[in-house]
Amino acid sequence: MPPPPDVVAVRLAAARNGTAAAGLDGLLVTNPVNLRYLTGVAASAGMAIVTAEAAVVVADARYLRQFEEAVCDLPQVVVAAVGVGHSYEGTVASLVAARAIRRLGVEAEHLTVARLAALRRTPELAGGECVETHGFLERFRAIKDVWELGRLREAGGRLAEVATCILPEVSEGRTEREISWKVELALHGAGFERPAFETIVASGPNGARPHHRASDRRIAAGDLVVVDFGGVLEGYAVDMTRTVAVGRVPAPGRAWLAAVAEAQQAAIDAAGPGVLPSVIDGAARAALARHGLAEAFVHGTGHGLGLDVHERPTIGPRGDHDGPVAPGMVFTVEPGVYVAGQGGVRIEDDVVVTTTGVERLTGAPPDAEAHEF
Ligand code: ZN
Ligand code: ZN
């Protein structure tokens, strides 16, 4: 189900106002995820020009009808076709000239160098200026609307159910790849349209690599097994990690599990409206430092979730560039410990910032003992 027209209309109005407030005559949207956010249409091609008054979606024949149907109830949006034999750049340049746009914002993180050069070569843009913007619409996307929170809550609940049914499968003798297939089957069974990323199953020493690819290694008694998986529901990604102790895990592994669980809870307790990402990250880092594991936590504490599986905000030591977290932001809390040659632990849940703190989207808090099979 795409977002209802009134939801899309609010997003478009915010984008139009933001464009004007930034001193731009127009914003050229080329990130397909941003285009989806503004129209509800998931397309591999297409652009939009947003001005203070209106938005023009630019599409070729492959997606024209979908965009026309999606925006037909939105009075301030029109769809312009890229004709056969014409280029996106040429069509955009004509539209920009017709609207007397002088300062055109472009999405620096998404418009390729080749496309920017092609735009600048068009005679229509000769007197104008392409201005780089960074994370312009992504900052709007970071605060989820009520409709999006509904999707993310539903997806988080379903992902927690996938965890409940899949974790008992993590047992001695199974290969990492077998577990990853089972996770993906369970995601399908739970109604997810696709996995959000390639499922990570990292057993024993492989757990020391945060983004290990599932291999043919057989899980052995005494292993810690990191299982990191995510699903996409109606376009929205959720992401979760559990670490399973198979049989009797030797002493350092048990201590890591307890320390990471403590670090995750510390970060969740620290999170809330008005709190800087570095403070949330610092809470997890301080907890691990108390266990002598500061050096073993080699990545940031979390990342935003939404139409992308990694988006704003960044919850890390250097994540404060967009200011404190705010109600409606959704992100992961996923501290970990990685020890080369030995193994690793990660525990990940998804939360939404409320007016008073955070709400967990991926079910009940993990209990280290409960995940021993
Ligand atoms: Zn994950
Ligand atoms: Zn994650």
Ligand 1 center to 347 CA (angstroms): 9
Ligand 1 center to 350 CA (angstroms): 9
Same domain, 222 and 77: no
Q: What are 285's two structure tokens?
A: 């880092």
Give the other-Cβ count within 10 Å of 164's Cβ.
13
Q: How many helices (H) and strands (E) does the chain have?
A: 10, 17
Ligand 2 center to 26 CA (angstroms): 34
Same domain, 153 and 167: yes
Same domain, 170 and 135: no
The domain that contains 249 carries what CATH number? Answer: 3.90.230.10
Number of domains in the chain: 2
Same domain, 220 and 299: yes
Distances (CA, A) of 346 to 100, 228, 254, 363: 53, 8, 13, 17
Same domain, 214 and 362: yes
Same domain, 238 and 345: yes
Query: Which range marks the domain in which residue 110 is found?
Result: 5-141
Cα dihedral sign, 193-196-197-198: negative
Q: What are 68's two structure tokens?
A: 């026309």
**Which residues of the chain fall below pLDDT 50?**
368-373
Same domain, 200 and 301: yes
Q: What are 22's two structure tokens?
A: 């930034």
| DSSP reduced 3-state for 349 | strand
Same domain, 213 and 199: yes
Backbone angles phi, psi at 191, to 5 degrees: 95, 5
Domain boundary among 90, 114, 141: 141
Task: Report whether 343 contacts 204 (CB < 8 A).
Answer: yes
Ligand 1 center to 217 CA (angstroms): 21
Place of tokens 């619409």: 137
Same domain, 317 and 175: yes
Domain boundary among 122, 141, 160: 141
Ligand 2 center to 152 CA (angstroms): 14
Task: Report whether 88 contacts 82 (CB < 8 A).
Answer: yes
Same domain, 118 and 184: no
Same domain, 128 and 170: no
**Minimum-distance ligand to the CA of 183?**
1
Domain boundary among 123, 141, 159: 141
Residue from 371, 292, 307 nearest 339 by CA: 292
> For residues 191 and 71, what is the distance between their CA atoms, to the nearest angstrom?
27
